[in-house]
Amino acid sequence: MDNAFRVIFSTFGGNEIATAVGLFAGDAVERPTDPVKAGYCFGGWYTDKACTKAWDFSDPIRVDMTLYVKWIPRVEQ
């Protein structure tokens, strides 16, 4: 698709999430099902690898982008 954007979901070893494609400027990307990773809890989606800038799924897409998952080590009791 000409002028279409995509959003890649980087899960850092969690289950794979399909890339969202065919998005146009102003579209919102659909929030995927939370990924899973053994020994970790899901901590949200972020626009940076350091997971300091949380993504709001109501925000519009303006460019191709990658969203990064934040993993929180699970504390065993």
Digit-coded pLDDT (tens) for 7-20: 999 999 999 999 99
Burial class (CB in 10 A: 0-12, 13-18, 19+), 43: middle
Does the structural domain 5-73 have CATH classification 2.60.40.4270? yes
Residue 18 structure tokens: 């399909």
State residue 31's pLDDT score.
97
- 3-state secondary structure at position 15: coil
Digit-coded pLDDT (tens) for 64-73: 999 999 999 9
Digit-coded pLDDT (tens) for 18-76: 999 999 999 999 999 999 999 999 999 999 999 999 999 999 999 999 999 999 999 87
State residue 3's pLDDT score.
76
